[in-house]
Every structure is written in C-alpha cells, then in structure tokens.
Structure 1
Amino acid sequence: TPGYACFWGTTEHTTTHFAVAHTMARVFVYGTLKKGQPNYKHMINTAKGLAKFQGRGRTVEKYPLVIAGKYNIPYMLNIPGTGHHVAGEIYSVDEQMLQFLDEFEGCPDMYQRTLMRIQVPRAAADGVLECFVYSTATYPPEWVGLPYHDSYDSSGKHGLSYVLRESRE
C-alpha cells in the first residue's frame, strides 16, 4: 500500500551485518503492548527481538483512540486533529522486533505503521520525537462514533476488557 511502511529491503547503507544488527527504530505503543497490559509479554520476549523502554509520551496531534470489535481491541484511528492527545510508551526496537510487531499488528491490513510526532516530557531538543505508530485508516465508518479515550487500560472504567488471541473463538 503506498505511503505505509510495512516492508523490508536492503539499501547500500545496510549491507554490513554490523549496521543491520544495530539498527533501532522508535515505536510508540498506546494499547495492549504497554507495561501492565495484556500483550506486554511480547515486548519483553527477546525471542521476538529487542525492545528497550525509552519513556512515556503523547501524540502531538489529536487522534481518536477507540475500543472496538467483539474482542475490545484498542485502535487509534488515523484522523489527525480529532479526539485526544493519546498517551503511550516509546520503545527502541531492533529489526526483528519491528518485523514481529508488523505481523502482530496485522500490518498493513488491520493497522498501518506510520511516523507520528510524539511529545516527550522533559526531553532534549524541542521534546518531540518521530516514532512509528500502528494506527488504522481501514476501519468501519461507525467506529468514528465510538467514545474517544486519551489513554488505554484493558481493565479501565469503560468495562471493555481486551480478549487475548488465545481466548478467542
């Protein structure tokens, strides 16, 4: 899909094993992959790659964060300027973890991995980092009418507990 970054390739800059092995990408997670949430176990599973916690942040632009579908999955709808500044966590991940996350997030069909600006409290420079975020532009139109959240917790007051993949029918 044009404009989405769910692909891997080699360039003249990544031909050495040393460069590839040490290339890290920043990923902003806002849902079930955060600490204390149902899928955090994947972020600390080194068999899937490396993910190093870098800190907390919020999207610079507002986005709708909804909990949708029969499994109560959190989705950030790719509608900049609508919703809230979404809170989450920033991780540095290696290529193996990024590939795992692409598969886990159903990229590019369910979610699309795009670069977004994330506001980081007390950070160097202007406090804004560019991070990959899994949001979606491929959602049913009625999701726009769901309640918008500024942060996600599977056991939050919304009462919509996430259904783990292994528990789904």
Structure 2
Amino acid sequence: MARVFVYGTLKKGQPNYARMINGVHGTAIYLGKGLTVEKYPLVIAGKYNIPYLLNKPGTGHHVSGEIYSINDQMLQFLDEFEGCPDMYQRTLVRIKVLEWEDKSTTPEGRPAVNSILECYVYSTTTYQPEWINLPYYDNYDSFGKHGCQYVLRESRD
C-alpha cells in the first residue's frame, strides 16, 4: 500500500470523490487530514477550472488535503486519471499530519499529530507560464467563493 495526498477534486465532498471510493478502481482508505510542509502554489486554471498544484516549492501556501492509503490498482488508476506523467507528475512530498482517523493501526503505530509523512502527490511542472500569476489557494473547494466550479469530464465539450 502507498500513501497519497489529495488536495483537489478527489477530496471528500468534491466532484471526483466517488472515483476515490469506487472499489472498481482499487482500494483507497482514508487515513486523515494533512498539510504540505513546503509552500506550493495551488491554482485553478483552464476552461474546466481544474485545480493544479504547481511544482514550485517555496511559493504559495501550505496546502491542506487528505491522506489515503491506496493499493497498486488504485495507484495505477490515479496515474491514468491524473494524466501522469504528461499533465501531472507523481512525486513524494512531505505532509504534516493534522488529524489521523485510521483505526486499523494500533495507537503505537499511528503517526502523531504534527508528525511528517512522505506521500505521493500529483503536481505539475508542465503548466502555462501565466498560471504562476493566478490566485493561490491553501484549501481547494470546487464550490468555493472563487466562483470557478470544476467541470466534470463527462460535461466537457
């Protein structure tokens, strides 16, 4: 099992969350909430209002998201879903644990709040240069005040 940190449409309550919990794609077990140790620019870009974590550490905000334990089948699905390695690249990023809900491990085996884990994150180095000038977010919500609601793949032209 691998750990993945999701910050965008795959989080609970977001448009693609069903893809995370759909057993057809593999196993994804919610472990808890986290925050990137480094700052990153999280932007909403393109005509479909896609959230992108630009792989430019040290710029932007500490980004909040969710930590999952996933099997190889789900990892392969996420690679395909995220257009890896062309649109997004999967890299290991240090994540600070904010809240841990995984009950499958013993208390001694659970990471402490504020401890640091390495998790896979889908970020991008292949972005349009002007995206660096877009507003940065620390917590993505498709239905947020920004008014840039994500367009599902099935609804795109």
Match of 2:137 among 121, 139, 149: 149
- State the identity %: 75
Tell me if the contact between 2:98 and 2:113 (Cα under 8 Å) persists in the aligned partners.
no
Q: Give the CA RMSD over aligned residues.
A: 1.1
1:127 corresponds in structure 2 to: 115
For residues 40-75 of structure 1, give each alpha carbon's deviation from its aligned partner in whole angstroms, at most 9, with x where no partner exists.
000110010000000000000000000000000000
Aligned residues: 146
Larger radius of gyration: 1
Unaligned runs of 5+ in 1: 1-23
CA distance in 2, matches of 1:125, 1:45: 28
Match of 2:124 among 133, 136, 143: 136
Given residue 61 of structure 1, which amino acid in structure 2 is its aligned partner? E
1:57 corresponds in structure 2 to: 34
Distance apart, 1:126 and its partner CA: 6.1
Q: TM-score, normalised by structure 2?
A: 0.91
Unaligned runs of 5+ in 2: 100-110
Tell me if the contact between 2:98 and 2:114 (Cα under 8 Å) persists in the aligned partners.
no
Given residue 66 of structure 1, which amino acid in structure 2 is its aligned partner? V
1:29 aligns to 2:17 (yes or no): no
CA distance in 2, matches of 1:85, 1:98: 24
2:156 corresponds in structure 1 to: 168
CA distance in 1, matches of 2:142, 2:17: 12
CA distance in 1, matches of 2:114, 2:66: 18
